[in-house]
Amino acid sequence: MSLLSGPERSGCLKILNLMSEVDLLSLSDTVTNKLIVVEDVTEAKETILSFTKNAEELLKRKKVHRDIIFKYLAKEGVVMPPSSEKHQLVKRTLELWSSAEVVVEEPGATDVIKQRLVPNTAMEIADVKADIGCDILMLGQQFCSWFFQLLNSQNTSLGQQAQDWGPQHFWPDVKLRLVARAGSDQLEEFLGAELVSCRLLALTKEEHLHFSPNLEPHGLKVLSSPHGLVLVAVAGTIHRDMTCLGVFDQIFGLIRSPLENNSWKIKFVNMKIRGQDALVGTQTAPALTYNSSELQMLCTL
C-alpha cells in the first residue's frame, strides 16, 4: 500500500509523465512483481503510485533515470549543477516534497490543490507580508519563485502550460536594461510595460531558454528603501534543454501599486547574461556579483 504524501504523489506523477511508455510498463511490472497486468500507460502510472512504498524507493529505481529527475527539478525551478549525480538529485527532490513546495495536481481533479507559498500573480504578492519589514527576504524569495516559474512556463519545450504572462505585472514606465556578454558586451534597453514584457517573453518563448534562480543566501539579496522601493537581486544559471549555456544576474525594482490592492509591480529590471566562459571552474550554484552597497545606490536613484 502506498504511503506517499500529497506532494510526493503529485511529484512522482510528474516524473512518471516524463518517462517513456516502455519504461513505464517495465516499472509497473517491477513494483508489482508482474502480479498485475496493465493495459495502458495511465493504468501503469496509477499502479506504480499505488504499489510504491515511499518516494525515495521510486526515485532510486533504475528506470527513473538521472536525466528525468534533473528535468523535473528544472521544471519546478530548482537549481542543480548539470554535473549532479543521481543520488544528489534524489536528495534534493525529497527535500522539495517534504517542504510541500509543489502544486498537487491529480488526474481528473476539478481543482488544483496549491500547497506552494508562491503567489500566482503579481497582485497576490501583496499578501506575502503586510509589512515588508517583517521578512523582506521571504518576499524576495517568493517573488523570484513566482517570476521565474511564470517566465519559464512560456518555454514550450518544457511541456508546461503557459501561465498568465503580460504587461500587467509591470509599471507602465518600467525600464529593462539587458546586457549579454559573449566575447563582447551587447546592450539592449527597453521602456514601457508592453516592450519590456515582450522582450523578456522572447527569451523563453522564442529562444527557448530556461532560467534557474539560485535562491540560497549567496544567490539572493533583498534591500528596501524608506520610500517603498524594494530591490531583489538574484543569480542563476541559464539552460536550453539539457545544456547549461551560462549564468545570469538580475535586479528587480518593486513598488506597490495603491490603486491595485497595494500589490507589488515591477518598476525596472537590470539583467546580465554571461556565456559558457563564466562556467569554467564553477562547481556550485552561481553567486551574486553585486554587493549591498551597490544595490543601496540603486535604492537612492
pLDDT digits (tens, 9 = 90+) for 107-136: 333 232 233 333 444 434 444 333 444 467
Per-residue model confidence (pLDDT) at position 291? 57
Ranges 75-79, 89-93, 150-154, 207-211: which has the least confidence: 75-79
Give every CB contact of residue 119 below 8 A, 6+ residues apart in sequence: 125, 127, 128, 142, 146
Residue 226 clears pLDDT 90, i.e. is over it: no
Nearest to 210, CA basis, from 187, 244, 251: 244
**Average pLDDT of the chain, as a whole number:** 80
Q: Mind listing the pLDDT tens digit for each residue in 158-173? A: 777 888 899 999 999 9
pLDDT bucket at 35, cuts 50 / 70 / 90 = confident
Per-residue model confidence (pLDDT) at position 210? 93
Nearest to 228, CA basis, from 199, 258, 206, 208: 258
Per-residue model confidence (pLDDT) at position 32? 85
pLDDT bucket at 219, cuts 50 / 70 / 90 = confident
Domains and CATH numbers, the chain: 6-104 (no CATH), 122-299 (3.10.450.50)
